[in-house]
Amino acid sequence: MSVNETESIDIVEQISHEFAIAGDFIEGVEIDSGHINNTYVATYERQDGKRRRYILQRINEKVFKDPLAVMRNVESVTRHINWKVLRVKKDLGGQTLNIYPARGGRSFAVGDGGGIWRCYNFIENCHTYDVVENTRQAYQAAKAFGSFQDLVSDMPLEDIVDTIPDFHNTPKRYARLMEVVAADPLGRLKDVQAEVDFIKTREGICNKLMNLAAAGEIPIRVTHNDTKLNNVMMDSESDEAVCVIDLDTVMPGLSLYDFGDLVRTATSPAEEDEQDLSKVEMRMPMFEALAEGYIDGCDCLNETELKNLVTGGKLMTLEVGIRFLTDHLEGDVYFKTHRPDHNLERSRTQLRLVECIEEKEEAMEEFVKKVIAAKN
């Protein structure tokens, strides 16, 4: 273990004592899976010798400028969903992680070196997938996010703070990329002109969902806004969805961006940063499972939302490609990177998937129509 790793675990031990955790601290291990926050698993041993694990996480203040607002959102959504599940299903199991209280009854603690930390329960015998392996997993993940959307569909928008304004606003993401392209602050543009040209030819579709929202044809909802496959915990034996996690980006938004991110992250067998673009493809069986699962889990979608599910998939994939490319040109200031040109690799993977979606777009649209007709 390096000096930095040792220091990090020492900090985790110190901060864990700020939460209502029984027993003695045994160990802390960093989970290196997310792009944004620093996440650790802390193991505690109780007096009876039994060990329990907890998730400790520091909110990235560079991304979330108001981490206390993030925590208020997480509290509001968690409380609403738990109340709804108890009221409807008479059961508090699953659906969301539970927040452990800190000293003084707060939902967070402040580290000695600063920073806002929170503590969640660790759900044993569960895991997440970065790449979907079969249609059952795809269906389960989509149904979990669809159910999440359904559970929060009656939450008042004023109960949620917009912690990252215009987080999923494709026209503004496109405009920002063009600003960075014009400035070319690090001289990286010469190596990514093909990617910029690809995006420019698709400028016309960037406004579609925001225009529908502005016209009142699709509603602004409380949405998850980060519906990657690895934000659903699956039972290790059954692969049944147990819990939707990572509520930091819960904000007012569009359901189509939520479904779109499922398409982006679950239809291709390739990793998000795959360098061999020949491995990127849009697998129809996976898309079909996603469409069925999301529609089965979410009864609140209106007709226009249902008709634009495929558009959501293409547009969300394009938007994330734009975001990765923008960050690459700006010097990798937003997403964590692990090697040179990491964000460029991520962008190229997304843009290739956009092409794959366009190649099968008509078949995808026809399948969604069949699912809608069958449900009606």
Using one digit for the tens of pLDDT, what is the confidence trace for 151-201?
999 999 999 999 888 889 999 999 999 999 999 999 999 999 999 999 999
> Are 252 and 297 found together in one domain?
yes
* More confident site: 45 or 197: 197
Provide the b/e sequence for 134-164 (b: ≥16 CB within 10 Å): ebebbbbbbbbbbbbbbbbbebeeeebeebe
| pLDDT of 88 | 62
Per-residue pLDDT reduced to its tens digit, 208-260: 999 999 999 999 999 999 998 888 888 888 888 888 888 889 999 999 999 99
Asked if pLDDT for residue 349 goes beyond 50, the answer is yes
Predicted pLDDT of residue 129: 82
- Please tell me the predicted confidence (pLDDT) of residue 83: 80
Same domain for 213 and 291, yes or no, is yes
| 153 and 111 within one domain | no
Residue 89 confidence (pLDDT) above 60 = no
pLDDT surpasses 80 at 135: yes
**What single DSSP character describes residue 102?**
B
Position 376 pLDDT exceeds 80: no
Do the domain assignments include residue 70?
no
Verify that 60 and 205 share a domain, yes or no.
Answer: no
- Residue 355, domain extent: 135-375
Residues 175 and 117 in one domain: no
Residue 93 pLDDT more than 70? no
| Band of pLDDT at residue 94, cut at 50, 70 and 90 | very low
Find residue 221's DSSP bridge partners.
253
Statement: residue 283 has pLDDT above 70: yes
Per the CB < 8 A criterion, the answer to whether 344 and 337 are in contact is no
Amino acid at 96: T
Residue 7 has pLDDT above 60, yes or no: no
Q: What is the percent of the chain where pLDDT is above 70?
A: 93
Give the pLDDT band of residue 32 (cuts 50, 70, 90). low
Q: Do 117 and 166 fall into the same domain? A: no
**DSSP letters spanning 12-79:** HHHHHTTB---SEEEEEEEE---SSSEEEEEEEE-TTS-EEEEEEEE--TTT-S-HHHHHHHHHHHHH
Is 128 part of a structural domain of the chain? no
Report the number of distinct structural domains present in the chain.
2
Residue 29 exposed, middle or buried by CB count within 10 Å (0-12, 13-18, 19+): middle
Q: Which residue has the higher pLDDT, 309 or 113?
A: 309
Is 197 found in the same domain as 341? yes
Looking up residue 288, the CATH number of its domain turns out to be 3.90.1200.10
pLDDT of 16 above 80: yes
Let me know if residue 9 belongs to a domain. yes
- Average pLDDT score over residue span 12-35: 81
